Amino acid sequence: MIIVMKQVARDEEVLKVEERLTEMGFAPHRIQGTERVVIGAVGAQKIILPTGLEVLPGVEKVVPITAPYKLVSRQAKDTDSIVRVGDVEIGGNEIVFMAGPCAVESEEQLLTIAGMVKASGAQILRGGAFKPRSSPYSFQGLELEGLKMLDLARQETGLKIVTEVLNPQEVELVASYADILQIGARNMQNFALLREAGRSGKPILLKRGLAATFEEWLMAAEYILNENNFQVMLCERGIRTFETSTRNTLDISAIPQAKELSHLPVIVDPCHASGNWRLAAPLSKAAIAAGADGLMIEVHNKPSEALSDGPQSLTPENFDRLIEMVAPIADAVNRTIPQAEIKNSK
């Protein structure tokens, strides 16, 4: 930590800051510049406290040196983490496809889509039973009935299940049906939910908040790891910017940054990022080229009748083509695609 004093700071103000640092367990190192004093504070802190130094007289700013995340960082673990869900490995060499409808709407709808995405190569079925909706008048999901349909789809197809949990009170229930708990973008800083989900011991897919900085996203993951749950996947799904031609702006740079600064796997959701199914394929190719470990894709057999997010859902045929288009990119970055051999032999 560096404390930059004002040009007009008096000597006793500098002394007061040094005193405060010493009280807090730091060793202060004063640098007398030509225009002002700067103080370096040396010392390792286990717990980051507000230092209060910013409001001491004469202090201009406090510059932190150390990143606030610990357990999620490459410093803590320098090999890539692999999240294991049964026989599916996320963060390994094989690209993972999570596909399915935005919302579980009926048994027939879910089983139909599940069968089709399975055939295309998806390893994991996505589908919301509890839906966070901007309007209280929108469809809120089938809740428990939806969870049971997901369970049935797993039994019939062997696909693993990822589904969102919205409320700390429902973590136990959702965890009893799901293989992976999804924390949605709106809940990225719902800390009670992060803790409860962390404690469930289940793998967690953590979506980045619409306006969350890269650092806040890693800190949200830190909440889960701090509950001794290391099975966390980061999911980039677009951030909110001034640009309105897409629903959100996919932050493609977040992928290589996350891979450089953290050991956690990175999943990309091009459908929410763009809000436009036609952009799903090019964004998927870009994501894999940039180093993503998997993709989350909305697939609906009748997008025009979907109860939510139809415009960003692919038909099963388009999903199939998406995988075909992603395959050579995966190959170009030395990653594999599920069942690629079988498909090639068709």
| Interface with a second copy in residues 291-320 (CB under 8 A) | 291, 302-311, 313
Q: In the set 12, 19, 54, 108, which binds a second copy (CB under 8 A)? A: 54
Report the distance separating Cα 274 and Cα 68, nearest Å: 31
* Region binding a second copy by CB under 8 A among candidate stretches 81-89, 92-100, 113-121, 243-251: 243-251
Residues 6+ apart with CB under 8 A from 222: 68, 69, 70, 71, 72
C-beta of 122: minimal distance to a second copy in Å? 20
Report the distance separating Cα 28 and Cα 24, nearest Å: 10
Token pair, residue 129, equals: 């039973």
> Taking Cα atoms as reference points, which of 123, 298, 278 lies closest to residue 203?
123
Q: In the set 12, 19, 75, 108, which binds a second copy (CB under 8 A)? A: 75
Residue 123 binds to a second copy (criterion: CB under 8 A) = no
Q: Which residues pair with 31 in a beta bridge?
A: 38
Residues of this chain, 132-171, that bind a second copy according to CB under 8 A? 132-139, 166-170
Distances (CA, A) of 76 to 73, 80, 230, 236: 5, 11, 12, 22
C-beta of 171: minimal distance to a second copy in Å? 11
x-or-dash pattern for a second copy, window 13-52, by CB under 8 A? -------x--------x-xxxxxx-x-x-xxx-xxxxx-x
Report the distance separating Cα 272 and Cα 31, nearest Å: 49
Token pair, residue 87, equals: 């026989």
* Region binding a second copy by CB under 8 A among candidate stretches 79-87, 115-123, 127-135, 142-150: 127-135
Distances (CA, A) of 287 to 139, 204, 283: 31, 20, 6
Residue 92 binds to a second copy (criterion: CB under 8 A) = no
Residue among 134 and 345 whose Cβ is closer to a second copy: 134
| Total site size for a second copy, rule CB under 8 A | 109
Residue 260 binds to a second copy (criterion: CB under 8 A) = yes
307, 146 Cβ separation under 8 angstroms: no
Residues of this chain, 168-207, that bind a second copy according to CB under 8 A? 168-170, 186-187, 189-192
95, 291 Cβ separation under 8 angstroms: no
Residue among 117 and 273 whose Cβ is closer to a second copy: 273
Residue among 139 and 177 whose Cβ is closer to a second copy: 139
